């Protein structure tokens, strides 16, 4: 800090992006393949779907709901015999939608063709939604059959998720066989409508679900599985792009319940609780219009690092670091300085204390809500005065063999200082004024905590 | 220095009368203590050559004592067994230090030798056990020379005792001379130490001369530290030699090149074997190195080295953990703005800056200097006026990683951070809603300070 620093004051802006739930857009993918002419309750499937969609649009309009509707129809432009797999068209875009326009448009359509579901989802993802990052986009697929064009609706859905274009499509099936229903598992939640009144009910509830706010509650669990932990930083990132969507410090309300967040339910999240090491919840999918609760296990204990005894004046202010790793793992979890305390997830850790010599402690157990105390003695200060130039190094004995603690390399005439842990050492000095290896000189020194040892070589 | 061997070799061709010739000790400071253990059992009375086994032993040892007496750093002692009690008494405790190990005791030693009247049995094991206390404490090489015409007769295990004494560093490997021992029992003596059987007095004389010559000689070796081209060019590294029998430290030598540019000659005790550590990073080791009397031994290890220079324009101390690529353990911690030598190969570096910087598969090549440079850090000053929770984050591999946890009650904190983009996520203790979390982004540049007020 004594150095002259160019002082830079940075203007800082808050980047938290909480979701404003407006507007909501629902795109209906409406099946107009030949089979839609079949009847349910004396009326063709197509007519039932058209009528109920109109009713829905009408009632939303009358309630001045912020929900916008668009309709993409497939299988209506070319007859079955032409095998047209690109028969899909956005008939009513979001901007122009109105109940009347929907009623009018759908009346003019006659189901006749194929069922290119995947193609329609791709098309919808490509261009149907206005580019407005704040909007909640949803797709509702109304169909009486499965993909007939060899497309992969699952892949199409993944694209939606990856690009955060819309929620996973809701599927309303009209008289689908059970074996077909399974094919929609990967696409999104499936609802089966067997009667026209049933269809109406499902349609209304799907829309209600889309319109309801989606909330998220993250419970931070202690070792007993209780939601008692808090004050940990949480980040919610897009599972595909890694983009940070939300960043919070976990909090609890006055009743001790984890705070609830309103969140964008579209896409997949990676939720990280930033403990040491972090706990990561991958591929988190939220149910739209619901209260979503996730528990993250973050049982923690503390590691208290303390230097005991009095340090020499030379050692004060020089921090001793401790490298903390999970036992038998290469990756560093954290580097913690003496003296101080830091929280870690419970478990076994290997400590590498970067004193001279290094101190290794393996399998240090940090228990839940416990403080593990690790103490090392204060170093002593070795002051070596070399009377000639030469080469010098210092050793400690481990398992009967000398281990190099520090290498001065080539030394000049003068004093050299080293902070060393208490213990016995051997200094080796080869003066450059003497010839031959056999002029190597060794000096045994005993270091004590907080003491200065002076050696002339 | 090497010419010395030739002269020593000549000098060691001593005749009995020529024992007076003085082998020149190369390391005059090194004290050698020789304990003669002589068999006084009844069978030593058996006729052998011109007189009896005991007669020949007295004559030859007596002459040897005279010649050793004049050497400045040799001390002698005499222990005898089986000479106090008749064989029929079967006394297994019949062993006695007749002459304590000391200087200038040749006359006493000869007198005591003369008085021995062999009569008893052969308690070798107890004798070896007792001899542990015969040697005075203090630095020196303790040599046991056992002269016997029979094997243990008291049921002990002399080999176990001998090994134990060596492992405890009390004695060097004993020398055992058999006087006309019959072939089928030599096994019981062979394991005690270096065993030679003398079929006659002349052979005995030659054997004992050779042994004493070897004991009092030093031999030479050189340590050839090879580079990648198998040339002995590596030097300026410390060497530690250990007795491989008991791992006691024997020699510490800084490896040097002599004036001819060859590895320096090192004088070594030919008795025993050595383990060697070359204190490179990581260290190189070679075990059970045998050196032989009157023979120059090249000891060869491959220690090709190159240098790693860690460089930054900042004066702040920064440490770097060094691992072998794929290895689990830190082999060295190097400070920034230093250069150190490593055995050639691939290393993984982790610099303990904030955030840590990893360099994988850093190659150290023969004689070359690999320079790793990191930018100087900038400073982050954080100020706040109430308690709160949060930390400093940065983006790593598309993930936000917590770098530093803000201290709950410390309102002014300062960190040295590497240049880059960071984010603080923070909530004061009195804000109980998660959406009251404050997120602040900032950029750190080298040698510049950023002040953040929370």
- Model pLDDT for residues A309-330, shown as the tens digit of each residue: 888 777 777 789 999 999 999 9
One fold for both B3-216 and B219-302? Answer: no
B97-109 b/e (C-beta count within 10 Å ≥ 16 → b): bbbebeeebbebb
C-alpha closest to that of B330 among B355, B353, B352: B352
Domain of residue A250: give its range.
215-297
- CA–CA min distance A259, chain B (Å): 6
Q: Could you tell me if A151 and A260 lie in one domain? A: no
C-alpha pair distances (Å), A272 with each of A88, A163, A249, B424, B428: 41, 21, 11, 15, 20
Boundaries of every domain in chain B = 3-216, 219-302, 305-374, 378-453
Q: At what angle do helices B53-69 and B106-115 cross, to 10 degrees?
A: 170
Residues B151, B122 contacting (CB under 8 angstroms)? yes
- CA–CA min distance A202, chain B (Å): 34
Size (chain A), residues: 457
What residue has token string 């383990």? B275
β-bridge pairing B448-453 and B378-383: parallel
**Which is more confidently placed, A367 or B8?**
A367
Which fold, B305-374?
Answer: Immunoglobulin-like (2.60.40)
Average pLDDT, integer, range A1-22? 39
What's the number of domains chain A is made of? 4
Do the chains contact at A276 and B402, CB–CB below 8 Å? Answer: yes
Q: Rounded to the nearest 10 degrees, how much is the dihedral formed by the CA atoms of A47, A51, A53, A58?
A: 160
pLDDT at A16: 37
Lowest-confidence pick of A146-155, B334-343, B374-383: A146-155
The pair of structure tokens assigned to A353 is 């204390």
State yes or no: pLDDT of B23 exceeds 80. Answer: no
Residues A236, A271 contacting (CB under 8 angstroms)? yes
What is the chain A residue with the closest CA to B354? A335
**Check: complex ipTM more than 0.85:** no
The pair of structure tokens assigned to B246 is 């008991």
Do the chains contact at B443 and A10, CB–CB below 8 Å? Answer: yes
pLDDT at A412: 96
Q: Could you tell me if A185 and A46 lie in one domain? A: yes
pTM value?
0.79
**Which is more confidently placed, A383 or A264?**
A383
The answer to whether position A1 is within a domain reads: no
Question: What is the rounded distance in angstroms from the CA atom of residue B192 to the CA atom of residue B176?
Answer: 7
Q: Could you tell me if A265 and A398 lie in one domain? A: no
State the count of interchain CB pairs (< 8 A) between A and B: 183
State yes or no: pLDDT of B11 exceeds 60. Answer: no
State yes or no: pLDDT of B454 exceeds 60. Answer: yes
Q: Could you tell me if A44 and A136 lie in one domain? A: yes
pLDDT at B255: 95
pLDDT at B29: 64
Do the chains contact at A393 and B238, CB–CB below 8 Å? Answer: yes
- Which of B4, B236, B254, B267 to probe by mutation at the A interface, max A CB count within 10 Å? B254
- CA–CA min distance A255, chain B (Å): 11
Q: Which of B242, B350, B402 sits opposite A274 (nearest CB)?
A: B402
**Which is more confidently placed, B1 or B383?**
B383
C-alpha pair distances (Å), A41 with each of A38, A46, A175, A194, A318: 10, 12, 12, 9, 85
pLDDT at A14: 36
* Residue B172 dihedral angles phi and psi, to the nearest 5°: -80, 175
State yes or no: pLDDT of B445 exceeds 70. Answer: yes
Q: Could you tell me if A223 and A195 lie in one domain? A: no
Do the chains contact at A274 and B254, CB–CB below 8 Å? Answer: no
The pair of structure tokens assigned to B223 is 């340590």
What is the chain B residue with the closest CA to A230? B389
- CA–CA min distance A81, chain B (Å): 50
Residues B67, B20 contacting (CB under 8 angstroms)? yes
**B234 vs A contacts (CB less than 8 Å):** none
C-alpha closest to that of A407 among B247, B350, B236, B306: B236
Do the chains contact at A401 and B317, CB–CB below 8 Å? Answer: no
The H or E element spanning position B292 is none
Lowest-confidence pick of A54-58, A238-242, B157-161, B194-198: A238-242
CB of A440 within 8 Å of any CB in chain B?
yes
pLDDT at A185: 85
- Which of B343, B430, B437, B452 to probe by mutation at the A interface, max A CB count within 10 Å? B437
Environment class of B30 (CB within 10 Å of its CB; exposed 0-12, middle 13-18, buried 19+)? middle
The pLDDT tens digits for A249-287 are 999 987 888 899 888 888 889 999 999 999 999 999 888
Q: Which of A252, A358, A402 sits opposite B333 (nearest CB)?
A: A358
The answer to whether position A18 is within a domain reads: no
Q: Could you tell me if A47 and A117 lie in one domain? A: yes
Residues B320, B350 contacting (CB under 8 angstroms)? yes
SS (H, E, C) A353-383: ECCCCCEEEEEEEECCCCEEEEEEECCEEEE
The answer to whether position A15 is within a domain reads: no
Question: What is the rounded distance in angstroms from the CA atom of residue A137 to the CA atom of residue A130?
Answer: 10
Q: Could you tell me if A33 and A110 lie in one domain? A: yes
C-alpha closest to that of A102 among A145, A68, A70: A70
Q: Could you tell me if A283 and A309 lie in one domain? A: no
CATH superfamily assigned to domain B3-216: von Willebrand factor, type A domain (3.40.50.410)
Q: Could you tell me if A55 and A146 lie in one domain? A: yes
**B242 vs A contacts (CB less than 8 Å):** 400-401
DSSP state of A252: B
What is the chain A residue with the closest CA to B242? A401
Residues B44, B53 contacting (CB under 8 angstroms)? yes
pLDDT at A96: 65
State yes or no: pLDDT of B16 exceeds 80. Answer: no
Do the chains contact at B391 and A400, CB–CB below 8 Å? Answer: no
The pair of structure tokens assigned to A138 is 């949803």
Do the chains contact at B432 and A252, CB–CB below 8 Å? Answer: yes
What is the chain A residue with the closest CA to B254? A437
Q: What percent of chain B has pLDDT over 90?
A: 68
The pLDDT tens digits for B271-327 are 888 999 999 999 999 999 999 888 899 999 999 999 999 999 999 999 999 999 999
Tell me which of A346, A377, A408 is where a domain ends: A377
What residue has token string 């006359």? B107
Lowest-confidence pick of A107-121, A185-199, A311-325, A437-451: A311-325
Do the chains contact at A247 and B400, CB–CB below 8 Å? Answer: yes
Do the chains contact at B398 and A438, CB–CB below 8 Å? Answer: no
Question: What is the rounded distance in angstroms from the CA atom of residue B374 to the CA atom of residue A202?
Answer: 62
Q: Which of A12, A13, A437 sits opposite B253 (nearest CB)?
A: A437
Q: Which of B242, B398, B452 sits opposite A400 (nearest CB)?
A: B242
**A323 vs B contacts (CB less than 8 Å):** 321, 330, 352
pLDDT at A22: 60
- CA–CA min distance B77, chain A (Å): 31
Q: What percent of chain B has pLDDT over 70?
A: 94
Q: How confident is the model at residue B27 (pLDDT cuts 50, 70, 90)?
A: low
Question: What is the rounded distance in angstroms from the CA atom of residue A369 to the CA atom of residue A348?
Answer: 14
Do the chains contact at A358 and B435, CB–CB below 8 Å? Answer: no
Residues A326, A345 contacting (CB under 8 angstroms)? no
What is the chain B residue with the closest CA to A320? B319
Question: What is the rounded distance in angstroms from the CA atom of residue A302 to the CA atom of residue A367?
Answer: 8
Helices (H), A239-324: none
Question: Domain with A174 in it: what CATH number?
Answer: 3.40.50.410
The pair of structure tokens assigned to A175 is 């008289």
Question: Domain with A244 in it: what CATH number?
Answer: 2.60.40
Question: What is the rounded distance in angstroms from the CA atom of residue A359 to the CA atom of residue A353?
Answer: 5
The pLDDT tens digits for A90-137 are 999 987 668 899 999 999 999 998 999 999 999 998 889 988 777 888
Q: Which of A249, A354, A400 sits opposite B437 (nearest CB)?
A: A249
The pair of structure tokens assigned to A391 is 């080469």
Q: How confident is the model at residue A18 (pLDDT cuts 50, 70, 90)?
A: very low
Q: How confident is the model at residue B67 (pLDDT cuts 50, 70, 90)?
A: confident
- Please report the residues numbered 399 through 428 in chain A whose beta carbons come closer than 8 angstroms to any beta carbon of chain B: 400-404, 407, 409, 426, 428
Q: What percent of chain A has pLDDT over 90?
A: 57
Lowest-confidence pick of A16-25, A42-51, A80-89, B221-230: A16-25
- CA–CA min distance B291, chain A (Å): 17
pLDDT at A135: 81
- Please report the residues numbered 30 through 69 in chain A whose beta carbons come closer than 8 angstroms to any beta carbon of chain B: none
Q: DSSP strand E in B103-212: where?
A: 141-148, 175-179, 194-198
C-alpha pair distances (Å), A397 with each of A359, A405, A425, B422: 13, 10, 7, 44
C-alpha pair distances (Å), B224 with each of A175, B272, B287, B384: 88, 20, 15, 63
Do the chains contact at A6 and B340, CB–CB below 8 Å? Answer: no
CATH of domain B378-453: 2.60.40.1120
* Residue A257 dihedral angles phi and psi, to the nearest 5°: -100, 140
Q: Could you tell me if A193 and A283 lie in one domain? A: no
Do the chains contact at A437 and B254, CB–CB below 8 Å? Answer: yes
- Average pLDDT of chain A? 88
Do the chains contact at B319 and A321, CB–CB below 8 Å? Answer: yes
pLDDT at B411: 92
Do the chains contact at A437 and B426, CB–CB below 8 Å? Answer: no
C-alpha closest to that of B113 among B140, B79, B136, B142: B79
pLDDT at A376: 95
- CA–CA min distance B300, chain A (Å): 17
Partnered with residue B395 across adjacent β-strands are B400
The pLDDT tens digits for B400-429 are 899 999 999 899 999 999 999 999 999 999
Determine how many CB atoms are found less than 10 A away from the CB of residue B416: 16
The pLDDT tens digits for A398-434 are 988 999 999 999 999 999 999 999 999 999 999 999 8
The pair of structure tokens assigned to B66 is 């005279």
Q: DSSP strand E in A10-119: where?
A: 24-31, 39-40, 43-44, 67-74, 88-92
B219-302 carries CATH number 2.60.40.1120: yes
- Please report the residues numbered 273 through 312 in chain A whose beta carbons come closer than 8 angstroms to any beta carbon of chain B: 274, 276, 278
**A233 vs B contacts (CB less than 8 Å):** 389-391, 393, 402, 425
State yes or no: pLDDT of A183 exceeds 50. Answer: yes
Measure the CA angle with vertex B8, ends B78 and B100; round to 5°. Answer: 15
Question: What is the rounded distance in angstroms from the CA atom of residue B131 to the CA atom of residue A348?
Answer: 51
Determine how many CB atoms are found less than 10 A away from the CB of residue B15: 10
Determine how many CB atoms are found less than 10 A away from the CB of residue B390: 29
pLDDT at B370: 97
**Which is more confidently placed, B8 or B134?**
B134
State yes or no: pLDDT of A377 exceeds 60. Answer: yes
The pair of structure tokens assigned to A268 is 């997949």
CB of A352 within 8 Å of any CB in chain B?
yes
CB of A433 within 8 Å of any CB in chain B?
no
- CA–CA min distance B22, chain A (Å): 24
pLDDT at A97: 67
Do the chains contact at B425 and A352, CB–CB below 8 Å? Answer: no
**A229 vs B contacts (CB less than 8 Å):** none
Average pLDDT, integer, range A234-247? 86
C-alpha closest to that of A217 among A253, A166, A184: A253
State yes or no: pLDDT of A4 exceeds 60. Answer: no
- CA–CA min distance B335, chain A (Å): 11
Question: What is the rounded distance in angstroms from the CA atom of residue B362 to the CA atom of residue B325?
Answer: 8
The pLDDT tens digits for B230-274 are 999 999 999 999 988 888 898 999 999 998 889 999 988 888 889
Sheet with A380-386, strands from edge to edge, namely A414-420, A380-386, A452-456
C-alpha closest to that of B255 among B273, B274, B232: B232
Q: At what angle do helices A99-107 and A45-62 cross, to 10 degrees?
A: 170
What is the chain B residue with the closest CA to A342? B405
The answer to whether position A99 is within a domain reads: yes
Q: DSSP strand E in B70-117: where?
A: 74-81, 95-102
Q: Could you tell me if A243 and A370 lie in one domain? A: no
Do the chains contact at A335 and B277, CB–CB below 8 Å? Answer: no
């Amino acid at each position: 800090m004594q150095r002259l620093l160019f002082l830079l004051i940075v203007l800082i802006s808050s980047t938290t992006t909480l979701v404003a739930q407006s507007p909501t857009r629902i795109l209906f993918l409406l099946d107009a393949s030949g089979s839609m002419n079949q009847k349910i309750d004396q009326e063709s499937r197509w007519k039932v779907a058209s009528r109920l969609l109109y009713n829905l649009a009408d009632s939303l309009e009358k309630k001045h709901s912020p929900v916008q509707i668009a309709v993409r129809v497939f299988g209506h432009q070319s007859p079955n015999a032409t095998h047209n797999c690109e028969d899909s068209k956005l008939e009513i875009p979001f901007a122009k939608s109105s109940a009347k326009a929907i009623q009018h448009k759908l009346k003019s359509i006659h189901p006749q063709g194929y069922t290119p579901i995947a193609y329609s989802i791709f098309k919808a993802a490509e261009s149907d939604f206005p580019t407005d990052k704040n909007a909640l986009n949803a797709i509702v697929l109304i169909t009486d059959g499965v993909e007939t064009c060899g497309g992969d609706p699952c892949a199409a859905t993944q694209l939606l998720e990856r690009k955060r274009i819309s929620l996973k499509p809701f599927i309303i099936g009209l008289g689908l066989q059970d074996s077909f229903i399974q094919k929609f598992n990967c696409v999104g939640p499936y609802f089966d409508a067997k009667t026209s009144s049933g269809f109406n009910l499902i349609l209304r509830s799907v829309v209600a679900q889309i319109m309801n706010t989606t909330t998220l509650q993250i419970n931070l669990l202690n070792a007993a599985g209780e939601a008692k932990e808090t004050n940990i930083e949480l980040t919610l990132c897009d599972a595909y792009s890694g983009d940070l969507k939300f960043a919070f410090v976990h909090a609890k309300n006055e009743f001790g319940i984890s705070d609830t967040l309103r969140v964008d339910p579209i896409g997949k999240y990676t939720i990280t609780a930033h403990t040491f090491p972090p706990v990561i919840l991958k591929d988190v999918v939220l149910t739209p219009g619901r209260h979503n609760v996730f528990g993250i296990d973050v049982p923690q204990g503390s590691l208290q690092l303390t230097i005991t005894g009095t340090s020499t004046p030379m050692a004060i202010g020089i921090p001793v670091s401790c490298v903390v790793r999970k036992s038998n793992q290469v990756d560093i979890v954290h580097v913690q300085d003496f003296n101080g305390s830091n929280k870690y997830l419970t478990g076994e850790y290997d400590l590498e204390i970067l004193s001279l010599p290094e101190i290794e402690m393996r399998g240090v157990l940090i228990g839940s809500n416990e403080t593990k105390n690790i103490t090392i003695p204060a170093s002593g200060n070795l002051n070596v005065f070399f009377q000639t130039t030469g080469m010098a190094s210092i050793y400690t004995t481990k398992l009967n063999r000398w281990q190099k603690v520090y290498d001065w390399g080539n030394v000049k005439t003068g004093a050299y200082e080293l902070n060393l842990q208490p213990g016995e050492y051997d200094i080796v000095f080869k003066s450059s004024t003497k010839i031959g290896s056999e002029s190597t000189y060794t000096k045994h020194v005993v270091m004590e905590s907080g003491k200065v040892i002076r050696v002339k070589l | 220095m090497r010419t010395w061997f030739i002269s020593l070799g000549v000098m060691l061709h001593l005749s009995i009368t020529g024992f007076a010739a003085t082998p020149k000790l190369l390391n005059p400071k090194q004290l050698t203590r020789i304990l003669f253990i002589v068999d006084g059992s009844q069978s030593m009375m058996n006729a052998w050559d011109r007189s009896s086994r005991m007669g020949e032993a007295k004559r030859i040892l007596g002459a040897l004592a005279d010649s050793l007496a004049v050497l400045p750093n040799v001390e002698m002692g005499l222990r005898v067994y089986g000479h106090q009690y008749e064989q029929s008494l079967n006394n297994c405790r019949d062993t006695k230090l007749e002459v304590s190990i000391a200087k200038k005791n040749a006359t006493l030693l000869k007198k005591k030798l003369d008085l021995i009247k062999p009569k008893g049995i052969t308690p070798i094991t107890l004798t070896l056990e007792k001899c542990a206390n015969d040697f005075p404490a203090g630095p020196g090489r303790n040599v046991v020379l056992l002269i016997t015409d029979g094997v243990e007769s008291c049921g002990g295990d002399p080999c176990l005792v001998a090994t134990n004494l060596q492992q405890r560093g009390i004695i060097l490997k004993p020398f055992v001379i058999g006087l006309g021992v019959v072939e089928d029992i030599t096994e019981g003596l062979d394991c005690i130490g270096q065993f030679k059987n003398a079929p006659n007095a002349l052979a005995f004389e030659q054997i004992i001369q050779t042994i004493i010559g070897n004991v009092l000689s030093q031999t030479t070796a050189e340590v050839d530290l090879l580079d990648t081209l198998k040339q002995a060019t590596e030097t300026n590294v410390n060497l530690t030699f250990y007795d491989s029998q008991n791992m006691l430290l024997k020699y510490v030598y800084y490896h040097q090149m002599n004036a001819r540019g060859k590895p320096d000659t090192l004088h070594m005790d030919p008795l025993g074997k050595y383990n060697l550590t070359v204190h490179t990073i990581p260290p190189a080791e070679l075990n059970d190195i045998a050196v032989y009397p009157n023979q120059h031994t090249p000891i060869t290890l491959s220690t090709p080295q190159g240098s790693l220079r860690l460089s930054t324009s900042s004066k702040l101390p920064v440490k770097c953990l060094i691992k072998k690529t794929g290895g689990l353990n830190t082999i060295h911690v190097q400070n920034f703005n230093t250069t150190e030598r490593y055995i050639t190969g691939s290393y993984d570096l982790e610099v303990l800056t904030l955030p840590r910087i990893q360099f994988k598969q850093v190659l150290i090549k023969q004689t070359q200097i690999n320079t790793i440079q990191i930018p100087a850090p900038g400073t982050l000053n954080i100020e706040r006026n109430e308690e709160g929770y949060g930390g400093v984050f940065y983006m790593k591999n598309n993930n936000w990683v917590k770098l530093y946890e803000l201290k709950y009650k410390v309102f002014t904190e300062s960190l040295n951070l590497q240049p880059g983009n960071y984010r603080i996520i923070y909530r004061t203790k009195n804000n109980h809603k998660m959406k009251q979390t404050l997120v602040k982004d900032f950029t750190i540049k080298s040698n510049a300070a950023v002040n953040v007020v929370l």
